[in-house]
Structure 1
Amino acid sequence: MLNYRQLHYFWVVARTGSIVRACEQLSLTAQTISGQISLLEQTLGVDLFQRVGRQLELTEAGRLALPYAEQMFQLGNELETVLRSRPDEQQILFRIGVADVVPKSIVYRLIAPTMELSEPVRITCREDKLERLLADLAIQRLDMVVSDSPMPPHLDIRGYSQKLGECGISFFATEEVAQRLHPDFPQALNDAPLLIPGQDTVVRGRLMRWFAEQKLRPRIIGEFDDSALMKAFGQSGSGVFVAPSVIADEVQAQYGVRLIGQTDAVTESFYAITVERKVRHPGVVAITEGARNKLFSE
């Protein structure tokens, strides 16, 4: 059976980068820590560290083990915090997974209603690829996953998708870039330098089909899975970029750009995925109600 004290020593050494610093943090001798990690390696049948010159580096097995150890001790800290709280101070733990293709501004506005709940809520957010998040949802490491697509049918994972809402797409550019474009929309996009969402996003395919239908041929100069990075390039004047119309005012104010035009022929949708068909978690309820009654109804 795995010895969690030995695993903890491994985790601290990996995080601090050396046994010396781990000794300072744990108030233990180097011999104790080294000996316990050696016993852990014997139990697992793999080396977790290797010497490279005078440096101690993780092996491939160590790099594989580290994120598991981090999750285990993070959950342990959360458990301790919850159990040590007095009954009238206990928080509702709300673990949210966010698909990395969902714009951060949308994520914030979706989650914001949980801050207004009468019960104290402690939120943890983790961003990752959708399939990895759904795997954690299946084993109840997460309470909900926010995505731009519903539960993929090919995954052998039980889950239920609730559509939070959808909106059209808006196009933005700096004043300097905008002045070089055709004054009419969508003709303004023809031969325009364009920054678009990456291949993993649902909206990417819809945009390309719309361009073909409108007989538009923008010059695609950048593709981004991270919408914030795409906006940063757009803010620098690299080209026209897109964002959900529901946050158009926010994008203009935050990035100092101009709205070129917008279309409802291309829509972007957002979903809450849970393992329960009937939602009970107050955080999930707050998000779904806030999205449907306010964010996507405006």
Structure 2
Amino acid sequence: MAGLNYNHLRYFWAVAREGNLTRTAEKLLVSQSALSIQIKKLETQLGHDLFERTGRQLLLTEAGRIAFDHAETIFAGGAELLATLNGRREERRSILRVGALATLSRNFQIGFLRPLLSRENVEVIVRSGTTAYLLQSLEAHRLDVVLVNVAPPRDAATPWISHPIAEQPVSLIGTPARIGKGGTLASLLTREPLVLPTMESSVRIGFDALIDRMGLRVRVAAEVDDMAMMRLLAREDIGVAVVPPIVVKDELASGLLVEVHQLPQLSETFFAVTLKRRFPNPLLRALLEPDAAGEWLE
């Protein structure tokens, strides 16, 4: 096999970074057709299409994302060579692109990513958004993994692989002044105003079913779709929050909040969603392998 043509690779790299063939051609002072020819030659040599067109957009294929990551490393290596010879040492870094549901517990996210966050040569890029946006980005190879608390539907058109990575119990949590004296679960639920997840949450669905089974009427102080906001409302003593303890683990450790009752048969499951790929990001193994379990929620 002939050696890789680095001119072709640089042209591809420039287009991938710009996302537009016309603008890249203008910046490189070459014709658009010449640029297309160089990229086509690279695709022929590699044996894979590197781009797919969506309207006027150029999107990287899976092979394109792999090629782009290698090109980033290669051309960063050139910059590193110059820096080294000029007395400035820079290390190469591997990259993992993570998408996280905007409402997901930050404590959980940090715990899940901790095995990589401690590595000096690894850069973790975290994007937040809705489940639909994140899954679209995963399918477009802009993300390597997506963290959610509800497994997305799987079918032939969208073959997501949902890895259940942790399950957390759900508890009643509030300030010591509000619930420090305790009481039965039923008495607390009927006596205190509650801070609940919104109706779309799997935790809320389970909580409503629990209340129905117990035959109780409760008073809702707030419905919130963001775990960080639930944490703040609990700290401000707006009411008793129905949350997994990991959401408020720092406040529990300091005594600012207390956990009074674990709700029976109610839990929140966290999933790492990936797609089956020919070239998976090797950094994922450190997060998804079985012996990493238990570290995510510490």
Matching of residues 253-268 of structure 1 within 5 Å: 253=253, 256-268=256-268
Structure 1 unmatched ranges of 5 or more: 9-64, 69-75
Mapped partners of 1:186, 1:6: distance in 2: 69
1:241 correspondence with 2:241:
yes
Aligned residue for 2:141? Answer: 140
> What is the percentage of aligned positions where both structures have the same residue?
23
- What do residues 100-155 of structure 1 show as CA deviations (whole Å, max 9, x unaligned)? 231111111111111245x7211110110001100110010000000101122379
State the alpha-carbon separation in 2 of the partners of residues 166 and 230 from structure 1.
19
Aligned partner of 1:4 in structure 2 is: 23
- Correspondence 1:134-173 to 2 at 5 A: 134-153=135-154, 156-173=157-174
- Deviations for 1:245-284, whole angstroms, at most 9, x for unmatched residues? 4556434136811212113410100001011279953432
Letter in 2 for 1:283: L
Which SS does the other structure have where 2:216 is aligned?
coil
Maintained 8 Å contact 2:171/2:245: yes
Alpha carbons of structure 1 residues 257 and 294: separation in structure 2 relative to 1, 3 Å: same
Partner of 1:89, secondary structure, is coil
**Are 2:125 and 1:124 equivalent residues in the alignment?**
yes
Aligned equivalent of 2:75 = 83
| Rounded Cα–Cα distance in structure 2 between residues aligned with 1:91 and 1:174 | 44
State the Cα distance separating 1:288 from its structure 2 match.
2.4
The equivalences for 1:213-228 within 5 A come to 213-228=213-228
Matches within 5 A, 1:261-280: 261-276=261-276, 280=280
Q: Deviations over 1:54-100 (max 9, x none)?
A: xxxxxxxxxxx9xx9xxxxxxx9997587324498321110000012
User: Structure 1's 209 and 291: CA in aligned 2 closer, same or farther, altered over 3 A?
Assistant: farther
Aligned to 2:200: 200
Structure 2 gap segments, 5+ residues each? 1-19, 28-55, 60-67, 82-89
| Contact in 2 for aligned 1:195/1:239 (Cα 8 Å) | yes
Match of residue 98 from structure 1: 100
Change (3 A) 1:184 1:104: same
Q: TM-score, normalised by structure 2?
A: 0.66
Residue 114 of structure 2, aligned match among 96, 99, 112: 112
Over 3 Å counting, the alpha-carbon distance change for 1:173 and 1:82 in structure 2 is farther
Q: Does the 8 A contact of 1:244 with 1:268 survive in 2? A: yes
Deviates more, 1:84-93 or 1:209-218: 84-93
| TM value normalised by structure 1 | 0.66
* CA distance 1:188–1:254, change in 2 (3 Å): same
Q: Is the 8 Å Cα contact of residues 104 and 149 (structure 2) preserved in structure 1?
A: yes
Q: Tell me the alpha carbon deviations over residues 10-65 of structure 1, each in whole angstroms, 9 at most, x when there is no partner.
A: xxxxxxxxxxxxxxxxxxxxxxxxxxxxxxxxxxxxxxxxxxxxxxxxxxxxxxx9
CA drift at 1:216: 2.8
SS in 1 for 2:283: helix
- Aligned ranges 1:167-186 → 2 under 5 Å: 167-178=168-179, 183-186=183-186
Q: Which amino acid aligns with 2:133?
A: R
**Native 8 Å contact 2:106 2:247 kept in 1:** no
Q: For 2:72 and 2:159, how far apart are their aligned partners in 1? A: 29
Structure 2: distance between partners of 1:255 and 1:152:
40
Instruction: Tell me the secondary structure at the aligned position of residue 293 of structure 2.
Output: helix
Q: Which moved more, 1:134-143 or 1:263-272?
A: 263-272
* Greater mean alpha carbon deviation, residues 186-195 or residues 149-158: 149-158
Instruction: From the superposition, tell whether residues 214 and 275 of structure 1 become closer, same or farther in structure 2 (CA, over 3 Å).
Output: same
Q: Deviations over 1:174-218 (max 9, x none)?
A: 122225x76222431114200111233221111111121122322
Amino acid at match of 1:113: P
The DSSP-based 3-state class of the residue aligned with 1:294 is coil
The list of structure 1 runs, each at least 4 consecutive aligned residues, that deviate by more than 6 angstroms after superposition, is 5-8, 76-79
Q: CA deviation at 1:170?
A: 1.5
Matching residue's letter, 1:241: A
Q: Structure 1: how far apart are the matches of 2:276 and 2:131?
A: 18
